[in-house]
Amino acid sequence: MTELPAHQLNPKITWVWRISDALTITLVFFLCAIPFFCVYAFEGEQWALLVSAVCVACYLLALIIFLAVVPPIRFRRWRYELTSDYLDIARGILWRKRFIIPFIRVQNTDTRQGPVLRAFNLASVTVSTAAGRHEIPGLDTAVAEQLRNRAAELARIAQEDV
C-alpha cells in the first residue's frame, strides 16, 4: 500500500467531534428514555423503570466511548494531501477509506463553518465531483481557505489542459 498522506487535521477538531457527538448521543438518549420514564411515572410499570435504567447505562457507555476513546483514534487516522494532480484523503477507524480525487474530476470546492467549528476557529473544505462530495474537516480557517483556493485553481488548470 502507498504511503499515507502527509497532512493531519488541527488537533482542536477532537473537541468539535466530542461536542457534536455529545449533543447527538444526548438527543437520542432523551428520545429513547423519556417515553419509558413517562410510562413509569404515570402508570407505575416496573418494566419501564428497567428499560429506563438500560437506556441510562447505554447512554453513559456511549458517552465514554465517543468522548474519550474514539476522537484521538479518529484524529490519528485522518490525513490529507494536495498535489498538483490530485487530492488524497485517508480516514477511518475500523473501515479505513482512501480517496484519490483527480482534479480533472473536480466540479466545485467550498468551505463550511458551523457554530461549533467557528467557536474553535476551524472550517471544513468540501471537494465535489460527479461521483460525490469529499470533506476535509477541522482545518484552521486560513488553511481551509488556502486549500479551497488551491484546489479550485488546480481543477481549473486541469480542465484547461483537456
* pLDDT tens-place string over residues 112-152: 999 999 999 999 999 999 889 999 999 999 999 999 999 99
- Residue 30 and residue 99 share a domain: no
> What does the DSSP assignment read for 73-99?
HHHHH-EEEE-SSEEEEEE-SSS-EEE
**Whole domain around residue 62: which residue ranges?**
8-75
Instruction: Please report whether residue 144 resides in a domain.
Output: yes
- Residue 155 and residue 92 share a domain: yes
pLDDT in tens, 39-92: 998 888 899 999 999 999 999 999 999 999 999 999 999 999 999 889 999 999
- Residue 43 and residue 30 share a domain: yes
- Locus of grid cell 484519490: 100
Quickly state the pLDDT bin for 1 (edges 50, 70, 90). low
Distance CA 67, CA 12 (A): 14
The CATH number assigned to the domain holding 157 equals 2.30.29.30
Question: Considering the entire predicted model, what is its pTM?
Answer: 0.88
- Residue 156 and residue 85 share a domain: yes
Q: Which one is predicted more confidently, 2 or 30?
A: 30
Q: What is the pLDDT of residue 139?
A: 96
- Residue 95 and residue 68 share a domain: no
Instruction: Please report whether residue 1 resides in a domain.
Output: no
Q: Is the pLDDT of residue 28 over 80?
A: yes
- Residue 71 and residue 92 share a domain: no
